[in-house]
Amino acid sequence: MRRNQTCHLWVAVLLVFFSTGVLTSVPATAKAATEVVSTLTDQTGVAVTIYNRNLALIKDHRRLQIKSGIVNLAFRGVSAKMQPETALFSAAGLSVIEQNFEFDLLTPKSLLQKYVGRQIEVIKRHPTTGVETREKAEVLSANNGVVLKFADHIESGIPGRLSFSDIPENLRDQPTLTMLLDSRKDGVKEIELSYLSSGLGWQADYVAELNASDDAVNLSGWVTLTNTSGTTYRNAKLQLVAGDVHKAPVEREFALDGRQEMRMAKAMAAAPNMAQEDMFEYHLYTLGRPTTIADKQSKQVALLQAANVPCKKEFLLQGSSYYYRQARGEIDKKLKVGVFVEIENHKQNHLGMPLPKGVVRVYKEDSKGALQFVGEDRIDHTPENETVRLKLGDAFDLTGSKKQTSFKKIGGDGRYNYIYEAAFELKLKNAKAEPVTIKVIEPIPGDWEMVSESHKHKKENSSIASWSVKVAAKGMTVLTYKVRVKF
């Protein structure tokens, strides 16, 4: 009795669903609808917005003749690395019933895999007579090799040329988004397909040329675009977003990763800067002309040109905090002096625009006027009125040596209340023909105070002491100091 009641209940529920239209099926005419194929020749425009983290927004505009009723549309020429769940189809008088992203592309291997359980023809040529014979065989397997079943035997491997009767419907020669559309009436439709895709990335590269006195640079900015998305974007409206856009975590098995290969842009003739504007909490750069972004291509586009930008060169010797915790027996430990260049990103310095993160490569002319590479560094996104600081290397003619001249415990009876006094001698040598100033940075741990010193220090913060030490040409300056440290 209970089983009959349950059966009657399900029948009633299904009748309600069918009568209200909640449970529907694809119209029968959909299966018989002729496929309308749209290629890049239908494209009337394309806009590409590329983000920093291997992400791009594609807006593909096309014009198509569409009949009324149920239409199967094959939208070819899309990115092979599109995220189909982000696709947004927009066209007046058209609605999407369903869509499929078909990225299983036609290859000899994929064709064989689709024919597992079906018959093909094997064409063999006689080695002496050259006569060709055809024999039917069923494909039993196409994993890690081919297994074929003939009428009286089974063979592995490919014994000859293979002939297939057709290409399976879901196997295409290029990535295709297929959509089942409901068209209200015949006519020419203006269509826009927007979607997110990986396989497109950009990076800013900068070229700076130092002047003879190292106090100004000519700065060129270039955008390196890389396209491994599987399609070409012809005459695209290009926009770039600088900033770290957050994306929801993606399950690893569904993630589409694009491999990027960047190369440095060579300096070319001056070009107009890309237009820049604020966009949410990011910065948007727009190229003022259409450009073609070809598949499997790296492309350079001018970002900015700024001449005679003031800069400051600094020599820096960086110490270590471990010197202050215990006695050190090293004698004249050699230290390298780093070379840094600072640029203030101000309008009065001929800059004053948001600088996307990237690599700055610095050059300088030698005595014969030939440009030579002198170093490079990577910068983060740098807003207006901030400082760009570049480490270009270590100075050849400037050296430092350090030794601990005394170390003693002056108080404390436990692990966390020790008081030490440590004294140091730092020799700075200059083999150059002109005097220099070397900035010495010492990270000092704990609660510290300077007991004595040969040069006046500056307390940069709670754990940093610095000295600006002048060293004469072909000369040497000795910095000595004693510090008391409480732990």
End-to-end CA distance of the chain: 84
Under a CB-based contact definition with an 8 Å cutoff, are residues 276 and 285 in contact? yes
Q: Are residues 340 and 439 in the same domain?
A: yes
Containing structural domain, residue 329: 312-345+386-486
**Residue 251 pLDDT:** 55
Distance of alpha carbon 67 from alpha carbon 185, whole angstroms: 6
**Residue 205 pLDDT:** 92
Q: Are residues 332 and 433 in the same domain?
A: yes
Q: State whether residue 253 is helix, strand or coil.
A: helix
Distance of alpha carbon 203 from alpha carbon 263, whole angstroms: 10
Q: Are residues 286 and 336 in the same domain?
A: no
What CATH number should be reported for the domain holding residue 475? 2.60.40
In a domain, 338, yes or no: yes
Q: Are residues 295 and 331 in the same domain?
A: no
In a domain, 78, yes or no: no
**Residue 16 pLDDT:** 33
Show Cβ contacts of residue 113 under 8 Å, excluding neighbours closer than 6 positions. Answer: 142, 143
**Residue 13 pLDDT:** 31
Q: Are residues 418 and 397 in the same domain?
A: yes
pTM for this prediction: 0.70
pLDDT tens per residue across span 8-42: 433 333 333 333 333 333 444 444 457 899 999 99
Q: Are residues 219 and 300 in the same domain?
A: yes
pLDDT tens per residue across span 124-136: 988 888 899 999 9
Q: Are residues 136 and 283 in the same domain?
A: no
Q: Are residues 332 and 480 in the same domain?
A: yes
- Token look-up 């199967």 returns 72
What domain count does the chain have? 3
In a domain, 43, yes or no: no
The domain boundary, picked from 284, 309, 334, lies at 309
Q: How many CB atoms neighbour CB 113 within 10 A? A: 17
Q: Are residues 443 and 415 in the same domain?
A: yes
Q: Are residues 333 and 446 in the same domain?
A: yes
Q: Are residues 245 and 392 in the same domain?
A: no
The residue ranges of the chain whose pLDDT is under 70 are: 1-33, 104-105, 249-273, 280, 414-415
**Residue 221 pLDDT:** 92
Distance of alpha carbon 444 from alpha carbon 442, whole angstroms: 6
In a domain, 272, yes or no: yes
**Residue 333 pLDDT:** 76
Distance of alpha carbon 74 from alpha carbon 101, whole angstroms: 10
Q: Are residues 279 and 214 in the same domain?
A: yes
